[in-house]
């Protein structure tokens, strides 16, 4: 057929379409990922949120409690000077106990506040990215298409029943931890659980219409051909990897933490820093805040200190500040 003859343009158009179809990969299988990986990620989020509360304890609550305890000690000194309290062993032991508690809290604040705040910032960032990923996959669905399957054996759309660690009041939990945290959190076990164990439990279920995992030529979320160099999407703070191949259970992979320069990597780098030792300070300081405010019949718990801490010797035997001594101090400080 010669150029310009009837049918030439139609033949050329058909040939062009065939070449385009051959050059453009077919749509991916639109896999849904099993709920297990997302639920494990939410368990990690719970630990990450605790870092934020721990940082608040160090940066705000502990300093204010230290100042209140210093005020208490000044009032106690005044009561002794005025003769309102006897200068006996009981009063002295209580005073030394309060001084030791205050000193330990100051040391904890001085050495641990900066790493605690750093960890809190990194952890909250990682938690936010992970929660947003879970919410995106969970809500990307309609009656027949979805991105999270119930399990590797049940390809039906996941509900929050299959994501118990991700829910609060029947919706994805976007809220931060509200409880006071006084112990340095540890997230290593939860981080490992996201990417270890029975990989099949995090399997991908094919042909569920999930556009987030779609891998096709020009209009998939990740490019399959050579047109784009952006052929990998790291989500959930680097834990979930969507590539230019159909996802499998290995989509959950902690090597992405480094590739993404993730906040999780930053947090992991801080693990070697010693941030222990705060555990008792806030609680012990709060006990001291009772004095001067508790009822006269409040049932104080006897306090025990070693003689060494009270500068009464070097042995490990203990000295008890009795309930009666504490009640007397509380009574005087009320006035």
User: What does the pLDDT average to over 126-151?
Assistant: 92
Instruction: Note down the domain range covering 165.
Output: 34-192+264-269
Q: Would you say 24 and 217 are in contact if contact means Cβ atoms under 8 Å apart?
A: yes
Assess if residue 182 is contained within a domain. Answer: yes
In a domain, 290, yes or no: no
Residue 235 lies in a domain: no
List, as own/partner pairs, every contact residues 305-310 make where C-beta atoms lie below 8 angstroms and the sequence separation is at least 24, other chains included.
Answer: 305/93, 305/96, 305/97, 305/100, 309/96, 309/97, 309/100, 310/93, 310/96, 310/97, 310/100
State the average pLDDT for the chain. 80
Instruction: State how far the Cα of 39 lies from the Cα of 202, in Å rounded to an integer.
Output: 10
Domain assignment present for residue 219? The answer is no
pLDDT at residue number 131:
92
pLDDT confidence of residue 26: 45
- Tokens linked to 283: 């609680």
- Rounded CA-CA distance 45/39 in Å is 10
Burial class (CB in 10 A: 0-12, 13-18, 19+), 75: middle
Q: Is residue 307 part of a domain?
A: no
As a whole number of angstroms, the distance between CA 65 and CA 281 comes to: 10
Pairing, β 32-34 against β 148-149: parallel
pLDDT tens digits, one per residue of 159-186: 999 999 998 877 777 766 667 777 778 8
Query: How many structural domains are present in the chain?
Result: 1
Average pLDDT over residues 316-330: 90
Q: What is the pLDDT of residue 20?
A: 39
Residue 231 lies in a domain: no
The answer to whether residue 252 is domain-embedded is no
Total-model pTM: 0.72
Three-state SS string across 48-62, please?
Answer: HHHHHHHHHHHHHHH
Q: What does the pLDDT look like over 260-292, one tens digit per residue? A: 678 888 877 665 555 554 555 677 788 888 898
**pLDDT computed for residue 176 by the predictor:** 63
Q: Is residue 177 part of a domain?
A: yes
Q: What is the pLDDT of residues 74-125, one digit of tens each?
A: 999 999 999 999 989 899 999 988 988 888 888 888 888 888 888 888 898 9
Integer Rg of the chain from CA: 31
């Amino acid at each position: 057929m010669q150029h310009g003859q009837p049918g030439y343009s139609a033949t050329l158009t058909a040939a062009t379409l065939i070449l385009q179809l051959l050059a453009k990969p077919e749509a991916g299988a639109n896999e849904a990922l099993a709920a297990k990986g997302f639920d494990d990620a939410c368990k990690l989020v719970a630990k990450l949120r605790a870092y934020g509360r721990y940082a608040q304890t160090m940066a705000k609550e502990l300093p204010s409690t230290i100042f209140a305890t210093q005020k208490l000690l000044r009032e106690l000194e005044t009561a002794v000077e005025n003769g309102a309290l006897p200068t006996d062993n009981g009063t002295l032991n209580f005073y030394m106990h309060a001084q030791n508690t205050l000193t330990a809290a100051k040391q904890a604040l001085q050495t641990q506040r900066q790493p605690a705040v750093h960890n809190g910032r990194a952890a909250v960032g990682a938690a936010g990215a992970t929660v947003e990923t879970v919410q995106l996959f969970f809500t990307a669905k309609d009656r027949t298409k979805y991105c999270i399957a119930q399990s590797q054996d049940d390809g039906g759309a996941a509900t929050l029943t299959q994501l118990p660690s991700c829910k609060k009041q029947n919706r994805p939990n976007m809220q931060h931890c509200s409880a006071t945290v006084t112990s340095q959190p540890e997230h290593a076990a939860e981080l490992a659980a996201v990417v270890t164990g029975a990989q099949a439990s995090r399997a991908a279920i094919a042909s569920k219409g999930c556009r987030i995992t779609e891998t096709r030529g020009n209009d998939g979320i990740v490019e399959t051909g050579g047109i784009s160099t952006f052929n990998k999407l790291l989500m959930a703070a680097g834990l979930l990897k969507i590539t230019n191949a159909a996802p499998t259970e290995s989509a959950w992979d902690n090597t992405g933490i480094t590739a993404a320069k993730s906040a999780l990597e930053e947090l992991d780098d801080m693990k070697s820093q010693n941030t222990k030792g705060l555990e008792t300070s806030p609680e012990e300081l709060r006990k001291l805040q009772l004095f001067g405010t508790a009822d006269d019949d409040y049932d104080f718990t006897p306090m025990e200190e070693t003689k060494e801490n009270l500068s009464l010797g070097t042995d490990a035997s203990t000295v008890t500040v009795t309930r009666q001594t504490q009640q007397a101090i509380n009574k005087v400080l009320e006035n």
